[in-house]
Every structure is written in structure tokens, then in C-alpha cells.
Amino acid sequence: MKDTHDPRNGTTHSNGTVHIPFTPGDRFRWDGIDVKAYSSTTAVSDRITKQILFHADENLCSEVRYFEAEPGGYSALEKHAHVHAVVILRGHGTALVGREIITVRTHDVVFTPPDTWHQFYAAPDSHLGFLCIVNGERVRPIRPVDADLEELMRDPVLKRVIR
Amino acid sequence: MKDTHDPRNGTTHSNGTVHIPFTPGDRFRWDGIDVKAYSSTTAVSDRITKQILFHADENLCSEVRYFEAEPGGYSALEKHAHVHAVVILRGHGTALVGREIITVRTHDVVFTPPDTWHQFYAAPDSHLGFLCIVNGERVRPIRPVDADLEELMRDPVLKRVIR
């Protein structure tokens, strides 16, 4: 069966049936989907990768990404005007959203509200893989400056968690 | 830990941390998320249910729904201008997209292009649960009229699959 849709080029190439088989392995993978560096703009841990399952285009207003952190890996601490709709696909770990520390497990749903600091951490003994659905039209995340970090780290609970 | 965001009311209520724990069971469920009838407009099988994990609103342009078909259950045959970004979360089954019959398994990704007939079927011995991400702004699906069905059923492969 030939797939004629290349999700890496957006849904405009969708002139036929689309099926992107999951390929089990050490890392969650999908046929023909590139594993990308987590971010081109932050010097965060290289122990997290990004795969774009659906690009936003004129037919789909949102982008569907899969992030996978290795055991002990984590995403960047950031905030932005747009929200994240997150569904955990693999493993367990912790999420910081605002000032709350949440234990997250496979299939849990997490919401990061607008302009709210957030960060996702795989447990030391588990991968943490999650879908993150986001508006295609959005502005760049804001990373904390020293004053932000200082303020956050004043909370001893946050200080233990934030990387 | 109190969740102050009610995803059933859209993301406007997101004045705090949001965590919607998954609650394992015979059906995939999430704390506080209602299990809805599959559709108010089609008389399709009652062996499929809908749970809206994220409503679209001014902060999120798409809606994230979870559909679960019981063994032998299926979605409506339909098409529409908008696309579906589908990620299988549970079990296995079959999907019709256009004129292709696809075997789908947990974590597979499926794309339904614009104006393309599609239908999802759980295997006789398996649930089929899938996330379906869709633009918040969209028009009602089109259901096949007799002439459409006649045309589709002329293909013996489709005839065996379509419900």
C-alpha cells in the first residue's frame, strides 16, 4: 500500500490514503517521520527529541508533535501566549505547570495555559513520550531570564524540580 | 492537587495547573471527561463513544477528541472539507480512507484528507481507540446518499468493509 501523503510537507500533499505505521523500538518512531533535535533555539538537554506527526497548513490549523525524553531527560522551561494540549503516550514523569508539580503517567492529559511556565521531565527510570498539539500560528516561546529563575527558585519545591 | 481547568468548558477556565489523569478500565476514561454519544446526527452503531479531551477556543484552534469503538464497532462513513489527524491509542482494526483499506494498530497515525470518504472499524476481537484532532471551525460532515453508496459498493473490496 503506497502512502502518497508526506506529512513532513504539510497536508497539501494529501492526494491519497495516509497511513503512517508506528515502528516500535527503543524510541517511539513512525515510518518516514524524521527525528529532530528538540529545539534550535534553546541549549536544553539533548536527551529529548521531536517528531512532527502533522504539520499545520491550510487544512489543519494545529501541529501535532511527539516529544520523547530519555530517562532523566526534560524539555525546556518556557512560557508563551499559546497553549499546549498534551497527551502522554509513553512512560511516566513529572510536569511543572505554573507553580504546580504534577506526576504524569501514560495517557494522562495535561494542559499548559497561556503565559504559564512549564517543563516536562522523564522519571530517572522511564522514558516520557507525549503528543503536544499546538496552534500552527504562534509566536516563539519565552525562556526565563535570571530574574525569572530567581523568582521561581525561591520556592523550594520548584527549586528541586526545575532544570 | 486541584485542577482548576475544566476542558469541557474550553481553555478559558485555565487559571491554574491542569492535569486530567487517565483512569484505566474496560473503556479508556479520563477524570471528569464525559463519555458522549458518538454523534447526534447519525444513526450509526452505538458501539462507539466520544470524549472531548480539549475543546477549541480562542487559545486553541483545534479540538482533541478520543473515540473508542468496542470490538466490532465502527464510526460513521462520512466526508468533509476539514481533515482529521488521527493517532491510534488503543487496540487495532481497519480504516477506510478514500478507496484504501488500511490495517491500523496502536500508535499508528492516519490522515483523512479533505472531501474523502472515511470510516474506522474496530477488529472483531479488539477495541479501537483513537485521538482525532480536528479544526475547531468546521462544517458538518456529509453522509453518503444512496448514489454514493452504490458507487462505493461497486468495488467488491469496499463492499466487504463498509458498514
Low-confidence residues of chain A: pLDDT under 50 = 1-17
* Across A23-27, B1-5, B158-162, least confident range: B1-5
> Does the distance separating the beta carbons of B54 and A64 come in below 8 Å?
no
How near does any CA of chain A get to the CA of B38, in Å?
21
CA distance B135 to chain A (A): 6
Q: Active-site residue numbers of B? A: 132
Q: Which of A9, A67, A83, A155 would you mutate first to test chain B, the one with the most B CBs within 10 A?
A: A83
Residue B11 has pLDDT above 60, yes or no: no
Name the one residue in this structure whose C-alpha cell is 482533541: B64
Chain A neighbors of B23, CB-CB under 8 A: none
User: Can you give the pLDDT at residue A40?
Assistant: 59
Among the partner residues B64, B85, B89, nearest to A60 by beta-carbon distance: B85
Query: What is the pLDDT at residue B75?
Result: 95
Tell me which residue of B78, B45, B47, B50 sits closest to B63, measured CA to CA: B50
Q: What residue spans of B40-155 are helical by DSSP H?
A: 146-153
pLDDT at B43: 59
Number of helical H runs and strand E runs in chain B: 2, 11
pLDDT recorded at residue A42:
60
Selected for mutation to probe chain A from B101, B109, B157, B158 (highest A CB count within 10 Å) is: B109
Q: How many CB atoms lie within 10 A of CB B82?
A: 19
What pLDDT is attached to residue A4? 42
Of B14, B88, B136, the CB nearest to A113: B14
Decide: B92 and B152 in contact? Cβ < 8 Å. Answer: no
Share of chain B above pLDDT 70, in %: 86
Residue whose C-alpha is closest to residue B110's, from A62, A88, A17, A34: A17
CB B163 within 8 A of CB B121: yes
Q: Which residues of A touch B108 (CB under 8 A)?
A: 19-22, 30
Nearest CA in chain A to B33: A109
Closest by Cβ to B62, choosing from A18, A61, A108? A61
> A3, A12, A87: which to substitute to probe chain B, counting the most B Cβ within 10 Å?
A87
Whether A20 and B112 lie within 8 Å, measured CB to CB? no
The identity of residue B132, as a single letter, is: C
pLDDT at res. A11: 44
DSSP state, B64?
Answer: E
**At B95, is the pLDDT very low, low, confident or very high (cuts 50, 70, 90)?**
very high
CA B50-B55-B57 angle, 5° bins: 160
pLDDT at A45: 65
Indicate yes or no: CB of B133 within 8 angstroms of CB of A16.
Answer: no
Task: Identify whether the C-beta of residue B19 lies closer than 8 Å to the C-beta of residue B1.
Answer: yes
For residues A109 and B42, which has the higher predicted lDDT (pLDDT)?
A109
- Closest-approach residue (CA) in chain B for A90: B107
Show the cell assigned to A157. Answer: 519545591
- Please tell me the predicted confidence (pLDDT) of residue B13: 34
**H/E stretch holding A149:** helix A146-153
The single residue listed with the C-alpha cell 527549586 is A159
- Give the whole-angstrom CA distance, residue A60 versus residue A53: 12
| Partner-chain residue, chosen from A7, A87, A95, that has the shortest CB–CB distance to B131 | A87
Query: Given pLDDT bands bounded at 50, 70 and 90, which one contains residue B32?
Result: confident
The verdict on whether A132 is a catalytic residue reads yes
Domains identified in chain B and CATH numbers: 20-161 (2.60.120.10)
Strands (E) in A55-117, as ranges, are: 62-69, 84-97, 100-105, 109-112
pTM here is 0.90
pLDDT in tens, B118-159: 999 999 999 999 999 999 999 999 999 999 999 999 999 999
Q: What is the pLDDT of residue A41?
A: 60
